[in-house]
Structure 1
């Protein structure tokens, strides 16, 4: 499959998830959105689970690219503090869509889909050390902000959002790894 075709199909699947508000996507809905036949889509993804895993990996790849852009150094040279800072900036700038939250939630609901997320989390955020508790708090709060906004539980104006993000970033400065 041409990489552009794969990316177009995966972006179409995310648009379907965004529009439907759920990860229970069908071959037909994705095929229609991508401008393919159902058989054409099945050629690329032999099962719905294969398509869902590809969507998850597509989302993770985008996140990792944007997180890497937010880092001032290559990932393998970065500290946990720098990675959490990058995550706060990425997540708070609207870098994550409601559809991506649905995709993430589906993996939590279905452990057979969770391995790509676990790999991403272990690569970027290793909170095993006790001295990283302050950074873990910032990371958890940032995830809470993302979830609340992605699900429509809360809507923040720009000033309040900037104040919250500033406070999270200040906590990182006070609690370096």
Structure 2
């Protein structure tokens, strides 16, 4: 990697870090080029050089979130596979989604949802990832209907946790017990 590429890469990461902080602290509607530039300590032109539009900035946030989630999920899945555990993809998804997604990055997730509402194509990388997870689950699991129920339950739990604002009809302090119950169900499929 050349020094120029390294600076470009680092400045992109700095800008994405700043965008995440703005989303977390101020909410999805406050993720603007100007706000991110101020937070990152770079010029508006510096942000626009790396992300030519707000949509591209949000796309970058989503892509980075997907890659982080994919890495976490794959590490959990590989650990379960090494241990010879049944249904490793579904069980890793339960742990990854519920442990990490339910408890973190609400502002970032809301920024991504807001951008997706304006341009649903931004969610295509997430769609591809979920289709791949589902294909893996179908090859590992004997009870596809049971797996689908768990997959949907996980999605619902993550969504209501992300939306916040009192959307969850249950106490979110009970997430650990939910995760344990989901994992028990997944072991039995």
Q: TM-score, normalised by structure 2?
A: 0.77
Corresponding residue of 1:119: 128
Question: Is 1:163 the counterpart of 2:177 in the alignment?
Answer: yes
Aligned pairs for 1:34-73 within 5 A: 34-72=40-78
In the alignment, is the contact (CA less than 8 A) between 1:135 and 1:172 conserved in 2?
Answer: yes
Corresponding residue of 2:151: 139
Bigger helix fraction: 2
SS in 2 for 1:94: helix
Q: Which has the larger Rg?
A: 2
Distance across 1 between alignment mates of 2:80 and 2:183: 20
How much does 1:71 deviate? 1.4
SS in 2 for 1:93: helix
Q: Give unpaired runs (5+ residues) of structure 2.
A: none
Aligned pairs for 1:10-49 within 5 A: 10-22=16-28, 25-49=31-55
Post-superposition CA distance 1:57-109 (Å, at most 9, x none): 0110110111112112699xx99931121111112223442123214423542
Q: 1:74 to 1:128 in 2, by over 3 A?
A: closer
Distance across 2 between alignment mates of 1:81 and 1:107: 33
Question: Is 1:151 the counterpart of 2:160 in the alignment?
Answer: no
In the alignment, is the contact (CA less than 8 A) between 2:31 and 2:111 conserved in 1?
Answer: no
Distance across 2 between alignment mates of 1:42 and 1:60: 22
Count the aligned residue pairs.
171
How much does 1:151 deviate? 2.2
Distance across 1 between alignment mates of 2:179 and 2:80: 23
How much does 1:20 deviate? 2.7
Distance across 1 between alignment mates of 2:32 and 2:116: 20
